[in-house]
Chain A
Amino acid sequence: MGRWWVVALSEAVHGDKALAVTCEGEQLAVFRDGKGAVFALEDRCPHRRVPLSPGPVKAGGLQCPYHGWTFDGATGLCNDIPNLRRDERVPARYAARAFPAAEANGFIHVWRGAGTPAAELPGASYRAADREQTGSAVANIAFEQYLDVMLDGPECLLSFPGVHITDFFLGDPRRDGEHLVLDRGAVWKGKGNGPAFVRDHSLWVRTRVPVTGGDIRVELLSADEDPLVTIFIAASENRRGTTSLVWRGFRHATAAPLSWRWRMARAIGRAPFAIFPHIDGAAVAALEVAPSRDRRLAKTDARTPAERVVPVQERCAV
Chain B
Amino acid sequence: MSEVPMMDAAGREAEVTSKRDWVPINLDLRDTWFPVAYSADIGQGAVRRIVHAQDVYLWRDGGRLYAAEFRPDRLEAMRAGASAFTNGSGFYPAVERYGYIWAWYGNPDNAHEELIPNIPFLPPDGQGIPRYTQRAVRFDAASPLSVENLIDLTHADFLHANAIGDGQSENDVVEVHSTSETVTRIRNVTRKSVAPVMRWIGGVRAQYQDLRAVLHVHLRNNVCISYPNFTPGYPIPNVQPFVPVGKHRSRVDQTNYTVHAPAPFRWLMPRISYVIQPQDNSVLRPQNARYFESTERRDLSSRFDGPGNRYRLLMVRLAERQQRGDFGYGADADPSADISAVLGMRG
- Interface set of A (CB-CB < 8 Å, partner B): 44, 46-51, 54, 64-68, 78, 81-85, 87-92, 94
Given contacts A46-B300, A47-B299, A81-B302, contact A88 B4 (CB under 8 A): yes
Q: A78-B300, A82-B157 are in contact. List 12 more A-B contacts (CB 8 A).
A: A46-B300, A47-B302, A50-B287, A51-B286, A65-B283, A66-B155, A66-B158, A67-B154, A81-B304, A84-B302, A90-B6, A92-B3
Q: Identify which of residues 1-31 in chain B touch chain A, using a CB-to-CB cut-off of 8 Å.
A: 1, 3-4, 6
Selected contact of A47 from candidates B4, B282, B300, CB within 8 Å: B300
Q: Which 5 A-B pairs have the closest CB atoms?
A: A89-B3, A49-B290, A50-B283, A50-B287, A46-B300
Report the bound CA distance from A39 to B172 in whole Å. 35
Say yes or no: is B209 at the interface (Cβ < 8 Å to chain A). no
B158 A84 Cβ-Cβ under 8 A: no
Interface string of B273-288 (1 = CB under 8 A from A): 0000000001100110
The residues of B that contact A50 with a CB separation of less than 8 Å are 283, 286-287
CB distance from A15 to the nearest CB of B (A): 19
28 A-B pairs whose Cβ atoms sit less than 8 Å apart in the complex? A46-B297, A46-B300, A47-B302, A48-B287, A49-B286, A49-B287, A49-B299, A50-B286, A50-B287, A51-B283, A65-B158, A65-B159, A66-B155, A67-B154, A67-B304, A68-B154, A78-B300, A81-B6, A82-B167, A83-B154, A83-B157, A84-B6, A84-B302, A87-B1, A88-B4, A88-B6, A91-B3, A94-B300
A67 B158 Cβ-Cβ under 8 A: yes
Given contacts A48-B287, A68-B157, contact A83 B304 (CB under 8 A): yes
Say yes or no: is B121 at the interface (Cβ < 8 Å to chain A). no
Given contacts A65-B158, A67-B158, contact A44 B6 (CB under 8 A): no
The residues of A that contact B158 with a CB separation of less than 8 Å are 64-68, 82
The residues of A that contact B3 with a CB separation of less than 8 Å are 89, 91-92
The residues of A that contact B287 with a CB separation of less than 8 Å are 48-50
CB distance from A278 to the nearest CB of B (A): 25
The residues of B that contact A83 with a CB separation of less than 8 Å are 154, 157, 167, 172, 304
Selected contact of B159 from candidates A66, A82, A87, A90, CB within 8 Å: A66
Closest-by-CB residue of A relative to B288 is: A49
Say yes or no: is B180 at the interface (Cβ < 8 Å to chain A). no
Closest-by-CB residue of A relative to B3 is: A89
Q: Identify which of residues 148-168 in chain B touch chain A, using a CB-to-CB cut-off of 8 Å.
A: 152, 154-155, 157-159, 167
Closest-by-CB residue of A relative to B158 is: A68
Report the bound CA distance from A237 to B304 in whole Å. 38
The residues of A that contact B282 with a CB separation of less than 8 Å are 54, 65
The residues of A that contact B297 with a CB separation of less than 8 Å are 46
Report the bound CA distance from A81 to B304 in whole Å. 10
Closest-by-CB residue of B relative to A86 is: B1
CB distance from A263 to the nearest CB of B (A): 49
CB distance from B142 to the nearest CB of A (A): 13
B167 A49 Cβ-Cβ under 8 A: no
Report the bound CA distance from A90 to B4 in whole Å. 9
The residues of B that contact A64 with a CB separation of less than 8 Å are 158
The residues of A that contact B301 with a CB separation of less than 8 Å are 47
Closest-by-CB residue of B relative to A93 is: B300
Report the bound CA distance from A66 to B287 in whole Å. 11
CB distance from A153 to the nearest CB of B (A): 35
The residues of A that contact B267 with a CB separation of less than 8 Å are none
